[in-house]
Structure 1
Amino acid sequence: MGKVEEDMNCIYRDPNEPVEARIRDLLSRMTLKEKVGQMTQIERRVATPDAIKDLSIGGILSACGSGPFQKALSSDWADLVDGFQKSALESRLGIPLIYGVDAVHGHSSVYGATIFPHNIGLGATRDADLVQKIGEATALEVRATGIQCTFAPCVAVCRDPRWGRCYESYSEDTEIVRKMTSIVTGLQGQLPHIHPKGYPFVAGRNNVIACAKHFVGDGGTDRGKNEGNTILSYEDLEMIHMAPYLDCISQGVSTIMASYSSWNECKLHANRFLLTEILKDKLGFKGFIFSDWAGLDRLSDPRGTNYRSCISSAVNAGIDMVMVPYDFKKFVEGLIDLVESGEISMARIDDAVERILRVKFVAGLFEFPFTNRSLLDTVGCKLHRDLAREAVRKSLVLLKNGKDPKKSFLPLDKNAKRICVFGTHADNLGYQCGGWTMKWSGGNGRITIGTTILDAIKAAAGDETEVVYEQNPSADTLARQDFSFAIVAVGEEPYVEGLGDNSELVIPLNGTDIISSVADSIPTLVILVSGRPLLLEPLLLDKIDALIAAWLPGSEGGGIADVVFGDFDFKGRLPVTWFKQVEQLPLHIGIDSCDFLFPLGFGLTCNKERSLD
């Protein structure tokens, strides 16, 4: 077990002792260097055995896609993580690591894992029970690879679709986001009937440490700018953006991540009022606060604020575990120096380490530090893919169904003689999954295992039905008169964070022209694959026969065919207001305006019944 003191019966090693007693005992044995090590989280690429052991590193993470090698299987991940854990247990005190990953819509760094719809699609379902089940499935697939922590859920309330993280938000409506926080219970397990307020909770080896993010107001920045400035009174910040965190805390969420963004020009990573006085003191949060990736670096200003000052600002504000992916030695040395000089108190260090150890003890990491390999078969299993397919079905929002108010266009006839399928997103699994899939920015093509929209259409079509596919419709194909109907799938390329900030919101990749050319020739269903509402010109809407907002559905395109061909009806309702022109933005539930294309809560069924929240 390592070079721990001779007394192997020490309190912190005894699972029968109360957690707080174990924390006090272990903390009393730690040096300043070991405490600072526990506050440090590093990227696995630089995590050498010597660094882990000598510095008593508290956490490791894999950036999205940072695995053992390309297309590594779950067992390869388990070997990787267990190797790091072995090094941690060989340190003087044998404190296990917390290993984190961005499993934000399934275990999306692992080849063959189940990829669920991104949050905006789940918000369209309004189904808290479904979202909790998705949390349970994700937890199993994450723990199967030895990882114990996911940096999820994002509980941002997105007030502007120009924001590049719009799809990571469940809704523009605070109440819908609050409802979807049920995923915390799915990830961590059902909270006991009697549980201390604000205390972290992880039920067992089939559950993971959840992380509510990004505290707070990241979805409300001015003009939807990523890492921008949220200009609000404290009362509005609390009512709109902070409320979902109360629900997460009430479910025992173990960690919370600070936002890169600012509130009234004060960066959250340095905001002691919000991180300590509100989150920890007023709300009673007893877990620990993560910084975001290299979040301390964001505290530098154009005048060249030095890194030492960044460390001081963040730690004194209330950050407990600091994500310093690569240059961690500089952080460790800087923090030790700040404590020895008195600029950061030992009490602040002890508070941070107590919180980190509390989560590790509650999560059972001391008793079960290694992978539970009996879970390996859960990764990408049929049960989880069926759940993802159900989520796709329930997330689809039908925005138009027929040019004639008395006649529906959908459902389509799966036994039609000849169907044509067009568009950049019809047969592209990477586009279908979006960002945070196999790598940070997502990918193009068959990046993992799954079913594209075209795959699903072919599987659903009758034995006598011919399915003709072209990514870009040719003039010869459009000139044919023997198609029963066309299905056009277009939308956004994958993007993440600030790379997705967009002030125009037009359908990219020539999507509008593809729709127009097909709809001029053939009765057309358009499936829009996107992380947010996009610009839909009135002339374009008039041309098409039916329109579905499919969001970013993930790996199980079969859910789209299930609904398009009538095996299931549409249930999804808009989680955001659909604008007419980008000049209207921000346009959301808090704006006194009715000049929208489709309101929050809109969604048709095949029977033309309109559903509104």
Structure 2
Amino acid sequence: MEKFPYQDASLPVERRVEDLLGRMTLEEKVGQMCQLDGRVNLEQEFQEKHPGSLLQILGEDCKKAIELARSSRLGIPLLLGVDAIHGHSFWPGATIFPTQLGISSSWNAELIEEMGRVTAREMRNTGVAWTFSPVLCIARDLRWGRVGETFGEDPLLIGDFAIALIRGLQGENLSSPDKVLACAKHFTGYSETQGGRDASEADISMRKLRSYFLPPFERAARAGVGSFMTGYQSMEGVPMTANRTLLRKVLKEEWGFEGLLVTDWNNVGTLVTGQKIAPDYKHAAKIAVEAGNDLIMSTPQFYQGCLDAVREGMLDEALIDEAVRRILSVKFRLGLFEDDRYPDPDAADRAAGTPEHRAAALTAARESLILLKNDGLLPVRNAKQVKVCLVGPNADNPINQCGDWSLGTGQANVPKQHPRRCTVTPKDALAEKFILVDNPGEADMIVAAVGDQPKYWGEFKSTATLELQDGQNQLLTEVADTNKPFVIAVISSKPVLLPAAVREKANAIIQQFSPGMLGGQALAEALAGELNPSGRLTVSIPYHVGQQPIYYMQPRGQHGDRYADLTQQPLYPFGYGLGYSEFEYESVTTDRTVYGPEDFIKVLVSVRNTGKRDGVEVVQAYVSDEVTSATWVDQELKGYARIRIPAGENRTAVIVIPASSCSIVNAAGERVVEPGEFELRIGKSSRNILHRVKFVIR
């Protein structure tokens, strides 16, 4: 059989792409731009639309689709995608890590990279080669239903953690069989919608985008992420799917992004049916393709609409070729023409939830656990002799514990659940370390496991309040009224607010953001003192929902610093978290006091563990630009160090800050380093600043 150049793996990707593209009909090219829901009549879809990509299928269900692609005229392999967000979420028995908000609380990029590696390994042999992860949205309004999918409120952390996850998923060689394509989403500003309402209008200027929302995405693009996904929202009347300035000029031209750009679910259809800026799918196809979208997710009407637009002269076929080049290039880089990821479910099952992978998830759950309050009750001594009454809806609920985009949540319309044996709940773990009793009157202490559940998180599920729902406030009041020592264990997708009286009476409060399969074990270890908590908040937790948004990077210059009826400070600030050790920041020095814009500021922080237990401290470095040509925030996180310090010993944290990062976006929308005086602030949180050091950039 004749072998064409595009089938020759020894040739450069560019030559293979051009050879294949030259052999394709218009129908085949437009088909490559279609990502269809795989839960349909596949034979009919392949015959009518020649799809280049499918989603929503795994394992055995992928076999027919891959076989149909193999038997097509040119044998172009499918690119199959799945929401493997914090683990291979929809494969039964896969290792489920904490969600992005959960694992971000570790402030440990290496741990997040390992989550990516494990996820990619467990995706191997399940038919898919692409995950729609990571999320680079900024969490500012906690009412938004997708806060738990983010890495928090700070652009620096979001960029660091996204790059780490991308590195874990894609590795150095994307064609390696245990690596998958990552996707930076949702580009961009999707989280900044009015009232926290999902996918509504986002009031964001270009200056605001360049100041906060674009930098993490730019870092991901320059780090080599293979794909981007557009958001649902519109800005200044322009749906993200139609935003030529951001998609084509900024992402593809300014940043040089060479991967593929996929829409989110039915974004192109929404141009017609929801946002109504297009009268029909022909016009919607024209808008989407001209704006720079390459792959159209779950809008089957795009296929005919695009063909009509080209044939009627409304849409230049050269733009179709441009998009298809990107799609084919990714498929070649993934090695799909040589290995189309035909599934082996038995091998996939063997790789899922291995002891090594679960150990990584346990480490993530441990390092992500945040101690918010402790009056000395914790850690519990002689736990084996202590009677604990465990109450609350999240005491023994695997689905609530594992969090969004996981089996059982209803997302992606997958009805299955992970095998019960895979998840260690608080009840499972506390039974191993304490004496569990059902009667609070007989207990030495009470642990109340509260939080939220799937009906209060995710797409379409923003909340008007942040209060505990479904009678949990009454439960906590009854617990407090027993006058027994009690711990509140909050297991939630995002921050929830506890009643003030109960919060003040509680002896200890622990926060776990959807900690994954091993979250219960981490909780029990923290209670028993086997784990010294080291998690730190990556979002600010308010006193009241009316304080929203309350992120720490507030622009300076407002009248006063409080509401007439309430403080403007959060209850728990960004960067906050307690442990069972005490740390004294003995000194802070910089290598010099004057820097050029291309220099690096080397910061040395001497920290002593004055407690009786070994512990981990997260040293945080903020910078304030003293005078700026345009209004700017009071301080920004510019560096951090997670250091382990034995009891009674001293360690030096080394933080290196590029002087170029001490920048602002000026009134003209340009990111610049303005010469002048700066203040370095070192502390335990955004509010607990312990040392201040002046420096100058010339």
TM above 0.5: yes
Residue equivalent to 1:188: 170
Q: CA deviation at 1:50?
A: 4.4
Q: What's the offset of the Cα at 1:413?
A: 4.1
Distance 1:23 1:583 in 2: 54
How far the C-alpha of 1:498 sits from its partner, in A, is 4.0
Q: Give 1:211 shift.
A: 0.8
Alignment of 1:86 onto 2:67? yes
Aligned to 2:355: 382
Q: 1:311 aligns with which of 285, 306, 313?
A: 285
Letter in 1 for 2:476: I
| 1:80–1:599 distance in 2 versus 1, CA, 3 Å | same
Once residues 74 and 379 of structure 2 are traced to their aligned partners in structure 1, the CA distance between those partners, rounded to angstroms, is 64
Alignment check: 8 A CA contact 1:54 1:91 kept: no
Q: Distance in 2 between matches of 1:608 and 1:49?
A: 64
1:23 partner letter:
V
The answer to whether 1:353 aligns with 2:324 is yes
Q: Which amino acid aligns with 1:582?
A: V
Q: Aligned pair in 2 of structure 1 residues 273, 47: CA closer, same or farther (>3 Å)? A: farther
For residues 381 and 96 of structure 2, the distance between their equivalents in structure 1, rounded to whole angstroms, comes to 26
Match runs of 1:33-432 below 5 Å: 33-52=27-46, 55-62=49-56, 77-181=58-162, 182-190=164-172, 202-300=174-272, 301=275, 305-324=279-298, 328=300, 330-371=301-342, 373=344, 374=347, 376-402=349-375, 407-411=376-380, 413-432=382-401
For structure 2, the 5+ residue unaligned runs are 562-567, 584-616, 618-683, 687-698
Please state whether the residue corresponding to 2:59 is helix, strand or coil: helix
Q: Residue 453 of structure 2 corresponds to which residue in structure 1? A: 493
Rounded to whole Å, the distance in 2 between the matches of 1:132 and 1:569 is 23
Q: Secondary structure at the match of 1:218?
A: coil
**C-alpha distance 100-595 of structure 1, shift in aligned 2 (>3 A):** same
Any idea what SS the aligned residue of 1:130 has? helix
Q: Distance in 1 between matches of 2:64 and 2:493?
A: 37
Structure 1 segment 524-563 matched on structure 2, within 5 A? 524-556=486-518, 557-563=520-526
Cα separation, 1, equivalents of 2:318 and 2:355:
50
Change (3 A) 1:35 1:176: same
Residue 25 (structure 1) aligns with: 19
Contact map agreement 2:247 2:293 (CA 8 A) in 1: yes
Alpha-carbon distance between aligned partners in 1 of 2:415 and 2:26, rounded to the nearest angstrom: 47
Report the counterpart of residue 194 of structure 1 in structure 2: none
Cα distance change, pair 590–612 in 1 and its aligned pair in 2 (3 A): closer
Determine whether 1:600 maps to 2:600.
Answer: no
Residue in structure 1 matched with residue 402 of structure 2 by the alignment: 433
- When residues 520 and 409 of structure 1 are mapped into structure 2, their CA distance, relative to the original with a 3 A threshold, is farther
User: Given that residues 437 and 443 in structure 2 are in contact (C-alpha distance below 8 angstroms), is that contact kept between their aligned partners in structure 1?
Assistant: no
Tell me which residue corresponds to 1:453.
426
Q: 2:501 and 2:540 mapped to 1: Cα distance?
A: 20
Q: Secondary structure of the residue that 2:54 maps to in structure 1?
A: strand
* Residue-by-residue CA offset, 1:50-92 (whole Å, 9 max, x unaligned): 4325533100100xxxx5xxxxxxxxx4332232111101000
- 1-side partners of 2:525 and 2:228: how far apart? 37
**CA deviation digits over 1:550-602, x for unaligned, max 9?**
11112112122222211121110011011011111111022255521011000
Cross-structure match for 1:71: none
For 2:317 and 2:258, how far apart are their aligned partners in 1?
18
- Of 373-382 and 560-569, more deviation after overlay is shown by 373-382
Query: 1:144–1:379: 8 Å Cα contact kept in structure 2?
Result: no
Distance 1:517 1:221 in 2: 37
Q: Is the 8 A contact 2:93 2:418 kept in 1?
A: no
Q: 1:514 is matched by which residue type in structure 2?
A: L
Once the two structures are aligned, what percentage of the paired residues are identical?
Answer: 33
Quick one: higher RCO (CA 8 Å, sep 6+), 1 or 2? 1
Deviation beyond 6 Å, 4+ runs, structure 1:
443-446
DSSP-derived class of the 1:125 partner: coil
Normalized per residue, the structure richer in helix is 1
What is the distance in 2 between the residues matched to 1:30 and 1:217?
A: 36
Report how far residue 224 of structure 1 moved.
1.8
**Paired residue secondary structure (2:400):** helix
Mapped partners of 1:456, 1:214: distance in 2? 36
Letter in 1 for 2:397: N
Cα distance in structure 2, aligned partners of 1:303 and 1:315: 15
| Contact residue 56 and residue 95 of structure 1 kept, 8 A | no
Q: Is the deviation greater in 316-325 or in 48-57?
A: 48-57
Note the C-alpha offset of 1:303.
Answer: 8.2
Matched, 1:9 2:3: yes
Gaps of 5+ in 1: 1-5, 68-76, 191-200, 470-476
What letter corresponds to residue 115 of structure 1 in structure 2? I
CA distance in 2, matches of 1:366, 1:564: 52
Q: 2:271 touches 2:277 (CA, 8 Å); kept in 1?
A: no
What is the RMSD of the two structures over their aligned residues, measured on CA atoms? 2.1
In structure 2, relative to structure 1, the CA distance for the partners of 1:43 and 1:446 (3 Å cut) is closer
Cα deviation, residue 9, structure 1: 2.1
Letter in 1 for 2:436: V
Amino acid at match of 2:516: G
Q: CA deviation at 1:242?
A: 1.2
User: Does the CA-based 8 Å contact 1:225-1:498 persist in structure 2?
Assistant: no
Which secondary structure does the structure 2 equivalent of 1:230 belong to?
A: coil
More strand by share: 2
